[in-house]
Amino acid sequence: TINVLRLDHRIGRDTRITTHVCLTARAFGASKVWLAGEEDHSMMRSVRDIADRWGGDFEIEYNNSYMEVIMNWREKGGKIVHLTMYGAQAHEVVDEVRESSDDILIIVGGAKVPTKVYKNADWNVSVTTQPHSEVAALAIFQHLLMEGKEFDLEFKDPVFEVIPTAHGKTVNVHNENRKLNKKE
Ligand code: SAM
């Protein structure tokens, strides 16, 4: 199981990037995103709505105590990776991470990451040694962790399903009314 913990969400300023963190986490094989910082009901609703339409069993949950998420994960025997430009190089540690446990929690930061996050991670991991983005770092790290298997993931029971084509757009739509009813 891969879960992602997004720290320090700010309503408004971070809405778009946290949405992208959630959708990227899902697309690359995470089953759940934990959100800390400000509780953003409308962003969570919109991610759930997208996940619902595109299939699979993705969850998103708010916990105002990110340390509780970290400690619970640790207690259950899972391992923790904190993505930071200061960490060990991703491609050098990813095999060790993958072999350490079936349950990996990947933490991405926000504006400022407290020292206790660094201390409680089993690995602080960087994707390149340059500053960039939580979305980019997450995608690349999940790709390395999954060894490319994310390209073959199947998302169960979708409403929308893209049929890959080099030109044009082909989307199969299944049972749209059922999902629309579920929302109401
Ligand atoms: N200035 C913040 C700090 O003190 O850590 C980081 C801000 S950065 C825009 C937000 C998040 O993107 C970081 O917490 C980290 O999770 C991720 N990130 C940015 N560059 C990264 C890199 N090269 N490797 C891994 N993660 C990175």
> pLDDT per residue over 27-61, tens digit each?
999 999 999 999 999 999 999 999 999 999 999 99
- How far does residue 127's CA lie from ligand 1's centre (Å)? 9
Report the nearest atom of ligand 1 relative to the CA of 110.
10
Instruction: Answer whether 134 contacts ligand 1 (Cβ < 6 A).
Output: yes
Q: What is the DSSP string of 113-156?
A: --HHHHHH-SEEEESSSS---HHHHHHHHHHHHHTTGGGG---S
For 80, the 3-state DSSP assignment is strand
Which of the 8 DSSP states describes residue 38? S
Report the nearest atom of ligand 1 relative to the CA of 7.
14
Q: Is 183 a residue whose pLDDT tops 80?
A: no
- How far does residue 89's CA lie from ligand 1's centre (Å)? 13
Instruction: Answer whether 128 contacts ligand 1 (Cβ < 6 A).
Output: yes
* CA 86/CA 69 separation, integer angstroms: 23
Instruction: Answer whether 170 contacts ligand 1 (Cβ < 6 A).
Output: no
Is the pTM here over 0.90, yes or no?
Answer: yes
* Distance (Å) of CA 104 to CA 59, 100, 159: 16, 9, 29
| pLDDT tens digits along 106-124 | 999 988 899 999 999 999 9
Q: For position 176, what pLDDT does the model report?
A: 79
Residue 178: phi and psi, rounded to 5, are: -60, -45
Q: For position 72, what pLDDT does the model report?
A: 98
- Interval 154-182 mean pLDDT: 88
* CA 81/CA 123 separation, integer angstroms: 5
Q: What domains can be seen in the chain, in order of their start residue? A: 2-183 (3.40.1280.10)
Measuring from atom 17 of ligand 1, which residue has the nearest CA? 134
- How far does residue 100's CA lie from ligand 1's centre (Å)? 24
Q: For position 70, what pLDDT does the model report?
A: 98
- How far does residue 168's CA lie from ligand 1's centre (Å)? 36
Structure tokens at 175: 């049972």
Instruction: Answer whether 113 contacts ligand 1 (Cβ < 6 A).
Output: yes
The half-sphere exposure of 167 on its side-chain side, counting CA atoms within 13 A, is 0
Q: For position 99, what pLDDT does the model report?
A: 98
With CA atoms as reference, report the closest residue to 146 among 18, 24, 7.
24
